[in-house]
Structure 1
Amino acid sequence: MFKMKKIAYYVVAMLFLSSCDDELDITNPNQETTATYWTTEAQAFAGVTAVYNALTTDGTYQRTFPSFTDSRGDDMYGDSPAVYLELGGQFTLPTNAGETQWIWRDHYMVIFRANQVIQNVGNLGTDVLSEEAKQRIIGQAYFLRGLAYYNLAITYKQVPVITTPPADQNDYYPATATEEVLWNQVFSDLRDAEQRLPINYDAVVGPDRGQKGRATKGAAAGLLGKAYLYRKMYTEAEAQFAKFFTGPLQGVYSLVPNYRDNFTSTNENNAESLFEVQFSATGGSVGNWTGEPTANWRQFNALPVAYGMQGKAWSDFQPTQWIFNEYRQERTVDNQVDPRLPATILYYNQAEGNTTAYGVAWPDNIREQIYIRKYTMEGQGVPFETPETGGNNYRVLRFADILLMYAETLNELNRTAEAYPYIQQVRSRAKLPDLATVKPNLSKEQMRDQIAHERALEFAIEGQRIQDIIRWGWLYDPAKLAMLKEHDDDFNTWTPGNEYLPIPQSELDNNANLLPNSANK
């Protein structure tokens, strides 16, 4: 498995080097520089590994980015003594909050490293690296940069677009790009990635042969379709998603039979996964909160301790009662509860056999509470003596999302009847009855609401809900906003523009070319 625990640490250190005044330029003979590093095949492969490594930090997928995305939806809310964890979900996060800075910092770390790979590996000759390997490495860098810009766009709305390593100090203060420029960069990067990447690494020639977890053609194609859908480019999105059903990606992905296998440390990189971030519960003794890794660095997922049950973890966040109730709207074909409910939420219910938590009897004093189960390692025999125990990979994009996004795209293109079978694949895995039978002949508007319901159940606590709410325009629809307020009290403090996180105040203070966004109030 492609875990990247033992990456070339000197590569990452080199990637952080930047120019200083001439009088301070002192060469360390024991440390690589950009001028001497990019010369071998091994260095090219290690360089792209360092880009993946930046996805495992606090501001990317280790903790803060997923949790602050989840908490802004109506499926989860902050419940922590750390006040900013609540304010993020209440759309009132101050501009000087560390969390908004961490997300910004670590996503630009991904971009900075990807830019170096794209430029320097691109300059290597075929005497050093085969053309096939070169394109594969550069394709991965394009995908990871496109993913980083996608995350920045949905989090901050407008940010600087940087596509080359800084040449000198004049490049240290990039200006804010327009939304159009930013999204066009996302599209361009993902198109370039899709063109260059293999379907899998089973037969490639190089040290990455057979490795799981690397970006693939399917990952790039799917994320590009998701980006088009976010921008309401339905024709372009339909063409992307169609590749998974009638094109070159047909049959490559499928739903795994057990929904919960998508959120445990077993069965990772499975048939449903288009892309996931690789974490490990074993390794060094130093937490990978951010920055340069050392020989003792450990790539653990911190969501188990952030999301875990009171008394077993920090329980900084909890699921809303609304999403709990939403799962109970419909029974399975064998008259059982939707299996996604106990996979997503930890709750006490003797009639349903839910009487233990983390391997012991459910505590009497909190039996009325509900907690997050998805991504928490509960039920996997993992102790919580220390917080750094999460080896669970974070699933960024699943085939279930492709199915429901394709259905949504078809509906928006007035092909509503064609959407049913793609939705039903997701429902059938949950053993729900045939939608075409229980709700036949839905109108376009009715199907929109149905898809919203299906997506809420399939992707609760996966960083999806606030993205959907924003792109559907619900916050600016009085009826939908009233509904969101009923789902989650946090929406009572939402004000226009604050659906995004604010640009970090420290960045605004240090860069006169950077503009505030709608949340900087």
Structure 2
Amino acid sequence: MKKLLYYISLSLLATGCDKKLDLVNPNVPTIEVYWRNANDALAGTNAIYNSLIQDGTYMRMYPALNDGRGDDFYGDSPWGDLVQIGSFIIPTTSGPVAWVWGAHYQMVWRANQVLANVPGITMDEELKKRLLGQAYFLRGLAYFNLACMYKIVPVVTTPPPSSADFYPATATEEVLWKQITDDFKAAKDRLPNTYQGISGPDAGHIGRATKGAAAGMLGKAYLYRKNWQEAANEFQPIIAGTYGTYSLMADYRDNFKEINENNAESLFEVQFGQPDQVGGTVMNYGGEPNANWKQVSSTGRTYAQDGYGYSDFLPSRWIYNEYKLEKTIDGKSDPRLLATIASYEPADNSTTVYGNAWPHAQTAIYPRKYTHDGLNWPGNDDQENSGINYRVLRFADILLMHAEALNELDRTAEAYPFIQRVRTRAKLPDLATAKPGLSKPQMRDQLAHERALEFAIESIRINDIIRWGWLYDAAKLAELKTHDNDFNTWRAGKEYLPIPQAELDVNVNLKPNPAN
């Protein structure tokens, strides 16, 4: 089974007060007639995954609004929101900002229904445990993304019992991050290492959350909160193979193309498929899905260069130059350069795009990661019909985060081997030989460089910049301004997305965040 299909809907409506007006729509079941058996539980859990493939999550806007704020990417679009987001001047009325908020809270809403109703269903207990584990994982992921993008948001953990509960208050950062770690812990306790070899309707399914994914995201949450020992404690078993065998793919670009998906490097990825693979005729931008929904990603079209897509973003010249700083052991450029960026490189046999001769100025650079350039480009029929899965968490990230945790624990020498595993895949020299005896601050800078090269254009860079405190360090901020002119218009608090104005208007208990 190549894809876990995400088309199953969960729309559970409250009944009206006037019994004379109560009509049963068999296509939209109410809570009173749902949650009765294992099929309902499975369909309800599948519906949470559906929220991952909408415009406000991984279909397009979650990657775009994250990548656009990093120093490795900047907006180059006629769509003002995509340029303003990178310049940190996005208004509170921005549509994309509201879509990200809405899609993530839809995921929370669906997860809460599963967690509230599935425990009471009489069904196979092992299947029930797995479904609850997935609901905890996906709710944790939703809140992790919300915390990174908006800083402070309401924490809702149960379906609202009445309309009086439709207006939750903003939680503190401490409450929000505790919920994130609690959810990932609960998920780790309930999820299997793999769905191969189990019995039940989810047997053999690819794309469902696993124990390794939950442990990895738990460790990442700890790392983001500077709980270094707890983070290392989560990463170490993953690296040791406790939750299954994870490893780096020999070909770096296997992590960003439509073949070799769900590979040994992937701890969790969002499943996309072109219509000829999984069907569908209606674009999955958002709203209430139906059986005709496509399951496509728009990122490949959004990032594709002039003549092949919208070219809404461009890589910064800084990240391009960063790849050129160090030659491989055989005297070539870092292979991640041409997997990430499309550039004219005769010395590296790169003078074509999408199978055609280089059509741009020889100094022009464009995104290649998550596009179909160099692959079996389907043409997309001028639509956003990419089937490339979005990789949420890779083993390379586990290795470098573990190295970071060790460095912060004053175990700097122990960090070298984990960094080198990532460097070796890129054919870079032994760091312990090239830069022996790095101090703790020097290793921080080295890890920042390593992470920039490994994770450029992967929705990660802005989160690293924020959590490292670079925007509030005068020297680092000055450095960021040399990387990307967008940082010249940054102002304190504007590194986050603003709470959507429409949400503030209807919810008196919702507080503005620093970006409002």
Counterparts of 1:139 and 1:2, CA distance in 2 = 22
Which residue is 1:149 aligned to? 143
Q: Secondary structure at the match of 1:243?
A: helix
1:216-235 to 2 correspondences below 5 Å: 216-235=210-229
Counterparts of 1:395 and 1:266, CA distance in 2 = 13
User: Equivalent of 2:95, from 71, 93, 98?
Assistant: 98
Q: Does 1:51 align with 2:45?
A: no
Counterparts of 2:6 and 2:207, CA distance in 1 = 15
Q: Secondary structure at the match of 1:77?
A: strand
Q: Secondary structure at the match of 2:239?
A: coil
- Residues 90 and 6 (structure 1), Cα distance of their counterparts in 2 relative to 1, 3 Å cut: closer
Counterparts of 1:62 and 1:8, CA distance in 2 = 17
Amino acid of the structure 2 residue aligned with 1:215 = A
User: Equivalent of 1:62, from 56, 59, 78?
Assistant: 59
Which residue is 2:340 aligned to? 344
- Cα RMSD, aligned residues only: 1.4
Deviation, 1:442, is 0.3
Which residue is 1:264 aligned to? 257
Question: Are the equivalent residues in 2 in contact too, given 1:73–1:466 (CA < 8 A)?
Answer: yes
TM-score of the two chains, using structure 2 as the length reference = 0.97
Q: Does 1:449 align with 2:445?
A: yes
Counterparts of 2:345 and 2:434, CA distance in 1 = 28
1:239-388 to 2 correspondences below 5 Å: 239-246=233-240, 248-249=242-243, 252-282=245-275, 283-363=279-359, 365-382=360-377, 383-388=379-384
Counterparts of 1:103 and 1:33, CA distance in 2 = 26
User: Equivalent of 2:501, from 505, 508, 512?
Assistant: 505
Counterparts of 2:119 and 2:40, CA distance in 1 = 13
Amino acid of the structure 1 residue aligned with 2:373 = E
Which residue is 1:117 aligned to? 114
Which residue is 1:396 aligned to? 392
Amino acid of the structure 1 residue aligned with 2:178 = N
Which residue is 1:196 aligned to? 190
Q: Which runs of 5+ in 2 are unaligned?
A: none
Counterparts of 1:23 and 1:502, CA distance in 2 = 42
- Residues 114 and 24 (structure 1), Cα distance of their counterparts in 2 relative to 1, 3 Å cut: farther
Q: Does 1:415 align with 2:411?
A: yes
Q: Secondary structure at the match of 1:161?
A: coil
Counterparts of 2:388 and 2:470, CA distance in 1 = 33
Which residue is 1:108 aligned to? 105
1:20-49 CA-to-partner distances (Å, cap 9, x unmatched) read: 554796232524211111112122111111
Deviation, 1:366, is 3.1
Which residue is 2:158 aligned to? 164
Which residue is 1:205 aligned to? 199
Counterparts of 2:15 and 2:153, CA distance in 1 = 23
- Residues 194 and 2 (structure 1), Cα distance of their counterparts in 2 relative to 1, 3 Å cut: farther
Q: Which runs of 5+ in 1 are unaligned?
A: none
Amino acid of the structure 2 residue aligned with 1:221 = A
Question: Which stretch shifts more, 471-480 or 205-214?
Answer: 205-214
Counterparts of 2:6 and 2:461, CA distance in 1 = 35
- Residues 296 and 247 (structure 1), Cα distance of their counterparts in 2 relative to 1, 3 Å cut: closer
Question: Are the equivalent residues in 1 in contact too, given 2:16–2:22 (CA < 8 A)?
Answer: no
Q: Does 1:488 align with 2:484?
A: yes
Deviation, 1:381, is 2.0
User: Equivalent of 1:140, from 119, 127, 134?
Assistant: 134
Deviation, 1:234, is 0.7
Deviation, 1:360, is 1.2
Q: Does 1:84 align with 2:81?
A: yes
Q: Does 1:461 align with 2:454?
A: no
Amino acid of the structure 2 residue aligned with 1:210 = G
User: Equivalent of 2:174, from 158, 169, 180?
Assistant: 180
Amino acid of the structure 1 residue aligned with 2:195 = Y
Q: Secondary structure at the match of 2:206?
A: coil
Deviation, 1:6, is 6.7
Counterparts of 1:235 and 1:24, CA distance in 2 = 60
Question: Are the equivalent residues in 2 in contact too, given 1:19–1:169 (CA < 8 A)?
Answer: no
User: Equivalent of 1:432, from 425, 428, 431?
Assistant: 428
Deviation, 1:246, is 4.1
Q: Secondary structure at the match of 2:238?
A: coil
Question: Are the equivalent residues in 1 in contact too, given 2:14–2:31 (CA < 8 A)?
Answer: no
Counterparts of 1:445 and 1:21, CA distance in 2 = 64
Counterparts of 2:148 and 2:337, CA distance in 1 = 27
- Residues 436 and 42 (structure 1), Cα distance of their counterparts in 2 relative to 1, 3 Å cut: same
- Residues 21 and 517 (structure 1), Cα distance of their counterparts in 2 relative to 1, 3 Å cut: farther
Question: Are the equivalent residues in 2 in contact too, given 1:4–1:53 (CA < 8 A)?
Answer: no
Question: Are the equivalent residues in 1 in contact too, given 2:130–2:192 (CA < 8 A)?
Answer: yes
1:414-452 CA-to-partner distances (Å, cap 9, x unmatched) read: 000000000000000000000000000000010000000
Question: Are the equivalent residues in 2 in contact too, given 1:19–1:168 (CA < 8 A)?
Answer: no
Counterparts of 2:153 and 2:124, CA distance in 1 = 35
Identity of aligned residues (%): 58
Deviation, 1:147, is 0.1
Question: Are the equivalent residues in 1 in contact too, given 2:8–2:50 (CA < 8 A)?
Answer: no
Q: Secondary structure at the match of 2:267?
A: strand
Q: Secondary structure at the match of 1:96?
A: coil
Q: Secondary structure at the match of 2:195?
A: coil
